[in-house]
Homo-oligomer: A and B are copies of this chain.
Amino acid sequence: MRDSKTANDLRGLEPAAIALKLAAMRAPDAVDALDTLDHPTAVAVLEAMPFEFAVHMFDEAGLDHPHEIIALLPEGLAEAILGDISADRRVDIFRKLSEGDRQRLAKGLTEDVEKSLAQLLTYPRSTAGGMMTTEFLTLPPDMRVEDALRHIKEVAREKETIYSIYIVDPATQRLIQPISLRDLIMAEPQAPVGSIVPRREPLTVSPLADRIEVSALISKYDLLALPVIESSGRLIGIVTVDDVIDAMVDETTEDVQRFGGMESLDAPYMEISFPKMMKKRAGWLAVLFLGEMLTASAMQHYEGELEKAVVLTLFIPLIMSSGGNSGSQATSLIIRALALGEIKLRDWWRIALRELPSGLVLGSMLGSIGFVRITIWQQLGLHDYGEHWILVALTVACSLIGIVTFGSLSGSMLPFVLKRLGFDPATASAPFVATLVDVTGLIIYFSIAYAILQGTLL
Taking Cβ atoms with an 8 Å cutoff, the residues of A that contact B are: 1, 26, 28, 62, 149, 152-153, 156-157, 162-163, 181-182, 185-186, 200, 203, 215, 218-222, 224, 241-242, 244-246, 248-249, 252-253, 255-257, 259-262, 265, 268-270, 274, 277-278, 281-282, 284-286, 288-290, 292-293, 295-296, 299-300, 303, 306-307, 310, 313-318, 320-322, 324-326, 328-329, 331-337, 340-343, 347, 350-351, 354, 357-358, 361-362, 365-366, 369-370, 373, 383, 404, 429-431, 434-435, 438, 442
Contact = CB atoms under 8 A, between A and B. Distances in A.
Contacts of A362: 278, 281-282, 285
Most buried by B among A215, A257, A277, A285: A285
Contact of A282 (B281, B328, B365): B365
A240 to B, nearest CB: 9
Q: Is the interface of A mostly helix, strand, loop or mixed?
A: helix
Contact of A434 (B185, B244, B434): B434
Contacts of A220: 28, 62
A104 B361 CA distance: 41
Contact of A286 (B224, B249, B320, B369): B369
Contact of A366 (B261, B289, B347, B434): B289
Nearest to A240: B222
Contacts of A1: 341
A316 B313 contact: yes
Contacts of A270: 337, 342-343, 347, 350
A261 B340 contact: no
B269 A343 contact: yes
Nearest to A298: B317
Nearest to A346: B4
Given A156-B186, A252-B252, A342-B269, A336 B257 contact: yes
Given A185-B152, A269-B342, A342-B270, A321 B333 contact: no
